[in-house]
Structure 1
Amino acid sequence: MTVNDDSFTNWMHREEIAESMIPIIGKLHREQDVNVLLHSRSLVNKSVVSILKTHRFARQIAGEELSVTETMPFLRALTTLDLGPSQIDIGMLAATYRADGRGLSVEEFTAEAVAGAAGENKIERRASRDVVLYGFGRIGRLIARLLIEKAGSGNGLRLRAIVVRKGKGQDIVKRASLLRRDSIHGQFQGTITVDEANGKIIANGNEIQVIYSDDPTTVDYTAYGIDDAILIDNTGRWRDREGLSKHLRPGISKVVLTAPGKSDVPNIVHGVNHDTIKPDDQILSCASCTTNAIVPPLKAMADEYGVLRGHVETVHSYTNDQNLLDNYHGSDRRGRSAALNMVITETGAASAVAKALPDLKAPITGSSIRVPVPDVSIAILSLRLERETTREEVLDYLRNVSLASPLKRQIDFISAPDAVSSDFIGSRHASIVDAGATKVDGDNAILYLWYDNEFGYSCQVIRVVQHVSGVEYPTFPAPAV
């Protein structure tokens, strides 16, 4: 047998194991509301090849590839336990088991590591929480995809309605088509049908009522059977408390804004300050995509090294707020063709840091350049630290943060030498540290942080909504503090 034959035989063996993982992962998700992760990446509804690629990607952050032959025993061990709603990272289980020297069996170690999610300790499955999307643009449709994807267990969040201004012609058919196909993020994973007679879009069995309105104060959501719902405003039309309060209609109990909030509206970056949300808070902002990209690594660096001052330069993909071709625009420069120019513009991300990290006293400045790509941006974060360090120390630290810290869902890490922006389309992290581009000289550090300003940000919004609704389930093994 040749070496190539050995490699192919090994591939087929791993393919077979990954294939056998799929029904186990699906059953845990549907029946026990357990989301199986691998280094913070969900394996629910993933293909055989996707599962294998996720295992292989572990070498980018952990230094060596993780094999399905290593993780499969832990997955099987989970099926023997009386688990409640939780997120369980089999990559972390394998890694911590490898470092454990007590001689426990996989079954014994797994039972101990996830004890907080099993038996008497398990959380009871909660009734689903209604969600309404006000606006159905780029972010709205991606949030809809995520909500539908996460509805598989029948619990958690349930998308009940979208509110839009009625367009001409077959409005609901066109909106369903935009949900079904996306030029950047690809096809919707599932089936979508339209019930025009009843004004509904049906996606993977989820009936989504389309409500036409241009004035939030005219809608009574209880008329559609919606109660105690969280409304996500994707329009950015209202950004202060007075404007957003218009959404607090019958059937709506909380409002979450997908843009930076003004005045006293709390700006929440999940993973950093979501624990400051009070039970009686009715109006929240998820800040901006750029704020979500820079605040988690900024917090990580401040915690370890201290930060005296910083500057962020954002190279940002163009958005619908710009003109396709030169035309009038209310803002400077944004009237020039987005597809043909680099456009200098303002960013509020630096000033928003103070809201998310009030204990950080270091001044942070910022500027932005819009460039002719449709998605994925990069933030160049230049920091003056309180102590000197080395590039190797910073990279080791950030790699560990991405693997085993409370920020591991926000911060990803990549060491691929030829990574470019399109590689990060669909990333679910708020920020991805590019190890190859990182520069450190004494007390100066420059981090290059990729982020999918559409999808990664939408994932952060969903995390905030899950936390607000009480369906943000704990992760095991617990991240290191």
Structure 2
Amino acid sequence: MTVNEDSFTNWKHREEIAESMIPIIGKLHRERDVTVLLHSRSLVNKSVVSILKTHRFARQIAGEELSVTETLPFLQALTTLDLGPSQIDIGLLAEAYRADDQGKSVAEFTAEAVAGATGGNKIERREPRDVVLYGFGRIGRLLARLLIEKSGSGNGLRLRAVVVRRGGEQDIVKRASLLRRDSVHGQFQGTITVDEANSTIVANGNVIKVIYANDPAEIDYTAYGIDNAILIDNTGKWRDREGLSQHLRPGVDKVVLTAPGKGDVPNIVHGVNHDTLKPDERILSCASCTTNAIVPPLKAMADEYGVLRGHVETVHSFTNDQNLLDNYHKSERRGRSAPLNMVITETGAASAVAKALPELKAPITGSSIRVPVPDVSIAILNLQLGRATNREEVLDHLRNVSLTSPLKRQIDFISAPDAVSSDFIGSRHASIVDAGALKVDGDNAILYLWYDNEFGYSCQVVRVVQYVSGVEYPTYPAPAA
């Protein structure tokens, strides 16, 4: 057999294994509310090629490719266990098993590693929690996609309604079309139908009521069968407690803002300070996309090296707040054409660090430049550290953080030398460390952090909503402290 034939035969064999994994992953998700991960990446509803690519990607962060032949036995072992709702990372299981020298079988090792999710230790499946989206723009529609995607088990979060202002003739048809097709994020994964008579959008079986209102005070959500809901305001119209309290209408229990909160509204970055939320807190903010991008790696660096001061420069994709062509705008520069210019503007991300990471006493300054790309931004984080180090040490630290730490869902790591912004469209992490661009000189480190300011941020918002609703299930093996 030639080398080419051998390579192709190997590929077909791995395809066959990946195909056999799909029904197992799907059944665990639907019947037991178990989400199978591979190095923090969900394998639920993924294609054969996507599963194989996710395994190969492990090479960039772990140093060597992870094969489906290694992970399949762990997946099979999970089917024999009395599992409760959880997230189980078969990539971490395989890596930990490699390092184990106690001679256990895969089945024995797996049972021990996920013991917290089995038998008498397992948690009960939650009743679905109603979610309402107030606004249906760029972030609103991505949140809808994520909520629909995560409704497969029938538990967890359930998108019940979207609140918008009526836009004219065939309003609901046009809004459904925008959910179905997106110029940046591609096609909706599933089917969407519209019932104009009942003002509903049905997406993958999820019946979503479209409520037309000009003001929060107009709505009684219980009239639509909605109860104890979490309302996500993605309009940004109200940012303080007084304004956001208008959403606390009948049927709504909590309000989550997808913009930086003002005053005493808690600014939450999942993975960093979400566990500081008080159970009775009814109004909170998920901060900004840039705050979510810089705070997790900033914490990772501060915990290991200490940070004396820092500056963040964000090179940010343009947004709907800017004009397509030069026209009046209340801001001094945002009125200039977004697709034709680099536009210097302000960012509140640096000042927001103090809210999300109050233990960091170092002063952090920041500024931003909007550039002519529709999505994905990069934050350049320039830090003076508490001690001298070198590039290799920092790379190893951040790689390990992305693999095994409690911040692994927030921080990703890429070593591809030719990576560019469009490569990160659809990334589910809050930020991605670009290994090739990292610079370290003594006590000075400059991190280049990519982030999908739309989709990655939306994933962070959903994580916060899962946490406050009580449907964020534990992950096994447990990340290192």
Q: TM-score, normalised by structure 1?
A: 1.00
Alignment correspondent of 1:8: 8
Q: Partners of 2:365 and 2:123 in 1: how far apart?
A: 43
Structure 2 residue matching 1:211: 3-state secondary structure: strand
Q: Which residue of the partner structure matches residue 37 of structure 1?
A: 37
Matched, 1:196 2:196: yes
SS of aligned partner of 1:237: coil
Partner of 1:319: 319
Equivalent residues in 2 for 1:231-246, closer than 5 Å: 231-246=231-246
User: Could you say which residue in structure 2 is the equivalent of 1:288?
Assistant: 288
SS at match of 1:471: coil
Residue 72 of structure 2 aligns to a residue whose secondary structure is helix
Q: Secondary structure at the match of 2:338?
A: coil
Instruction: Return the alpha-carbon distance in structure 2 between the equivalents of residues 74 and 250 of structure 1.
Output: 46
Matches within 5 A, 1:296-315: 296-315=296-315
1:309 alignment partner AA: R
2:246 match: secondary structure: helix
Measure the CA separation in 1 of the matches of 2:418 and 2:28: 37
Residue 87 of structure 1: aligned partner: 87
Which position in structure 1 is the counterpart of 2:417? 417
CA–CA separation in structure 1 for the residues paired with 2:401 and 2:215: 44
Mapped pair 1:433 → 2:427 = no
Q: In 1, Cα distance between the equivalents of 2:470 and 2:22? A: 27
Aligned partners of 1:39, 1:4: CA distance in 2, in Å?
30
Does residue 166 (structure 1) correspond to residue 184 (structure 2)? The answer is: no
State the distance in 1 between where 2:133 and 2:16 align: 40
1:471 maps to: 471
Counterpart AA for 1:158: R
Superposition misfits of 4+ residues, deviation over 4 angstroms: none
Q: What is residue 338 of structure 2 aligned with on the other side?
A: 338
Deviation (angstroms), 1:67: 0.3
Deviation at 1:468, TM superposition (A): 0.3
Letter in 1 for 2:230: I
Aligned to 1:99: 99
Mapped partners of 2:152, 2:326: distance in 1: 45
User: Which residue of structure 2 lines up, in the alignment, with residue 184 of structure 1?
Assistant: 184
Query: Structure 2 matches for 1:449-468, cutoff 5 A?
Result: 449-468=449-468
Counterpart AA for 2:69: T
Structure 2 unmatched runs, 5+: none
In the alignment, what sits opposite 2:27? 27
1:129 — aligned with what? 129
Residues of 1 paired with 2:214 and 2:186: CA distance? 30
- Equivalent in the alignment of 1:69: 69
User: 1:371 deviation in Å?
Assistant: 0.1
Separation in 1 of the partners of 2:480 and 2:326?
Answer: 51
Partner of 1:360: 360
The corresponding residue for 2:348 is 348
Alpha-carbon distance in 1 for matches of 2:46, 2:178: 23
| Shift in Å, 1:450 | 0.1
Residues in 2 aligned to 1:439 and 1:217: alpha-carbon distance in whole angstroms: 52
How many pairs does the alignment contain?
481
Over residues 208-254 of structure 1, what are the superposed CA-to-partner deviations in whole Å (9 max), with x where a residue is unaligned?
00000010011000000000000000000000000000000000000
- Distance in 2, matches of 1:414 and 1:63, equals 11
Q: Could you tell me which residue of structure 2 aligns to residue 383 of structure 1?
A: 383
TM-score w.r.t. structure 2 length? 1.00
1:65-115: CA deviation from partner (whole Å, max 9, x where unpaired): 000000000000000000000000000000000000000000000000000
Q: Which residue of 1 aligns with 2:138?
A: 138
- Structure 1: how far apart are the matches of 2:178 and 2:221? 24
Q: Deviations over 1:275-303 (max 9, x none)?
A: 00111000000000000000000000000
- 1:206 matched to which residue of 2? 206
2-side partners of 1:123 and 1:145: how far apart?
A: 27
Q: 3-state SS of the aligned residue for 2:17?
A: helix
**Letter aligned with residue 251 of structure 1:** G
- How far apart are the structure 2 equivalents of 1:383 and 1:272? 19
Q: Percent identity?
A: 88
2:52 aligned partner: 52
For residues 332 and 420 of structure 1, the distance between their equivalents in structure 2, rounded to whole angstroms, comes to 30
Give the CA RMSD over aligned residues.
0.3
Give the match's secondary structure for 1:330: coil
How far the C-alpha of 1:199 sits from its partner, in A, is 0.3
CA distance in 2, matches of 1:126, 1:377: 36
1:354-405, CA deviations, whole angstroms, 9 ceiling, x for partnerless residues? 0000010000000000000000000000000000000000000000000000
The letter for the 1-side match of 2:132 is: V
- Report the counterpart of residue 448 of structure 1 in structure 2: 448
Deviations 1:134-165 (A, max 9, x none): 00000000000000000000000000000000
Aligned match of 1:115: 115
Measured in 2, the distance between the counterparts of 1:190 and 1:13 equals 28
Q: Is 2:258 aligned against 1:258? A: yes
Whole-Å separation in 2 of the counterparts to 1:162 and 1:351: 32
| Per-residue deviation, 1:332 | 1.0
Q: 2-side partners of 1:63 and 1:172: how far apart?
A: 49
CA distance in 2, matches of 1:8, 1:441: 45
CA distance in 1, matches of 2:118, 2:331: 55
Q: Return the alpha-carbon distance in structure 1 between the equivalents of residues 440 and 113 of structure 2.
A: 37
Unaligned runs of 5+ in 1: none
> What is the DSSP-based 3-state SS (H/G/I as helix, E as strand, rest coil) of the residue aligned with 1:197?
coil
How far 1:339 sits from its partner (Å)? 0.2
State the alpha-carbon separation in 1 of the partners of residues 208 and 192 from structure 2. Answer: 11
Q: Give the AA of the match of 1:391.
A: R
